[in-house]
Amino acid sequence: MSIAQALTIAGSDNGGGAGIQADLKTFQELGVYGMTVITAIAAQNTTGVQGVFPISYEGIAQQLDSTGDDFQPTSVKTGMLYSAQIIRLVAEKWQQYSWSNLVIDPVMVAKGGAPLLQQEAVQALITELLPHALITTPNIPEAELLTKMSIMNLSQREEAAKRIVQMGSTYALVKGGHDEGSGMIVDVLYDGQSFHYLENVRVVTRHTHGTGCTYSAAITAELAKGSSVLAAVTTARAFIQAAIEDELGIGAGHGPTNHFAYQRRLRGEQ
């Protein structure tokens, strides 16, 4: 029996709502065997980030080599990479092991506002790693940092998606969750020629910690199973919508989403 395998290269969230923990939960729920390379350990809870402790360069390199020497993931996602040095290392190992289906979640700022990517690393992400991406999945603030443009409406999200594809990413998904001027969330997927729009009703809740990680992890899982990009994004959008709607209510701040929700709905469970 063969099983789809996916690798996540990201930070650890001890609260379990984002980062490596959210990725593994999502992979598992979607029937994919998950592997990890941990780049940093974040001390955080639903009220914020209390500290970020990077893993050494040698430690990350060894994790990448240990994975590449024995496994062949059919999709790979990156989350919090933290520094330009780590970004360059990941790009080097990506090419060395001929991995495929790179999903870049350009994690830059935590939900509470704490920076998760050093300033000098943004340019390294653009020049060193993004040209290898099958799909890049920024929210609006992340897309603004990548493209150096202000994004206030749908047409500007479309323009940002175009610019990200021009940077080298085959697809760009600019998410609309931070556009709070509408009762609908519209995510814009651009494939270099045409746009696709994924719409869902906005859920008014404070329990949205890890939505970006979970969304991109679901895309990664579906790509690992052989789905097209559009099909993977469509399933991932349904996955994160269910995870937000069926909230867990954990924590005093921005609580985690419900990774159980999507499969429970498919099984007809409450």
Question: 42-54 as b/e, with b when 16 or more CB fall inside 10 Å?
Answer: bebbbeebeebeb
In the chain the first and final C-alpha atoms are separated, in Å, by: 32
Q: Which amino acids are annotated catalytic?
A: 175, 208, 210-213
Strand partners, 53: 41
